[in-house]
Amino acid sequence: MILSDIDFTIDAGGTSVAVVGPSGSGKTTLLSILGGLLVPSSGSVYVREGDRQLAVARQVSWVLQTANLLPRRSARDNAAMAALARGEPLGDVLNRANLVLEQVGLSSVADKPARFLSGGEAQRLSVARAVTSRTPFILADEPTGQLDDRRSDQVADVLFGVTRTFNCGLVLVTHDHALARRCDRVLTLSNGRLR
């Protein structure tokens, strides 16, 4: 059993939750279950709006530990991709993508195919894609793991900024204690249990 006795609630409403814990403690597994990528062997995940229960997959954007970009498409297309897949108008999405690319310092590589980006650039692009989507929740797995301090602060500013501005819920897995402290709540995983 990787996780057990997990029970908590996250409000959209502009709040951020950090998930911390040693390597192998189950952070990515927890995030994958929250976002519906993994089905738990027992228990459930609900997204509720008032009395309505919503489909989890439509409500979350991902920043995964590996960037999962479309390698041949430009950085701009990658940033726009998730929002476009949700059926939003092209012009609106591209405007938003351009703004977000600027915020994460990627304007100069916006036309570059994603496969030519550095590891840190790819990571920032994956954050840009999630932020451009404007879903009610962002689930981010070590979104600053490959970044230097300055870039890390910049990416965190963008993530916390969008969370507050658009009243989303941010769940952020991180080994960076300074980043975890910026969150409203910190959940610590240890041997698959929350402390």
Ligand X SMILES: Nc1ncnc2c1ncn2[C@@H]1O[C@H](COP(=O)(O)OP(=O)(O)OP(=O)(O)O)[C@@H](O)[C@H]1O
Out of ligand X, Mg ion, none, what residue 35 binds, judged by CB under 5 to 8 A for its kind, is none
Examine residue 28 and tell whether it contacts Mg ion (CB under 5 A): yes
Number of neighbouring beta carbons within 10 Å of residue 105: 17
Of the candidates 10, 17, 26, 67, which one interacts with ligand X according to CB under 6 A? 26
Q: Identify whether the C-beta of residue 170 lies closer than 8 Å to the C-beta of residue 8.
A: no
Distances (CA, A) of 81 to 69, 84, 94, 170: 9, 5, 9, 20
Stretch that binds ligand X, among 25-33, 53-61, 130-138, 146-154 (CB under 6 A): 25-33
* 177: contact with ligand X by CB under 6 A: no
- Per the CB < 8 A criterion, the answer to whether 97 and 159 are in contact is no
Least distance between ligand X and beta carbon 64 (Å) = 11
User: Which residue type occupies 144?
Assistant: T
Strands 137-141 and 169-173, bridge-based pairing: parallel
Minimum distance between the CB of residue 95 and Mg ion, rounded to whole angstroms? 33
When asked if residue 24 is in the footprint of ligand X (CB under 6 A), the reply is yes
Question: Footprint of ligand X on this chain (CB under 6 A)?
Answer: 2, 21, 23-29
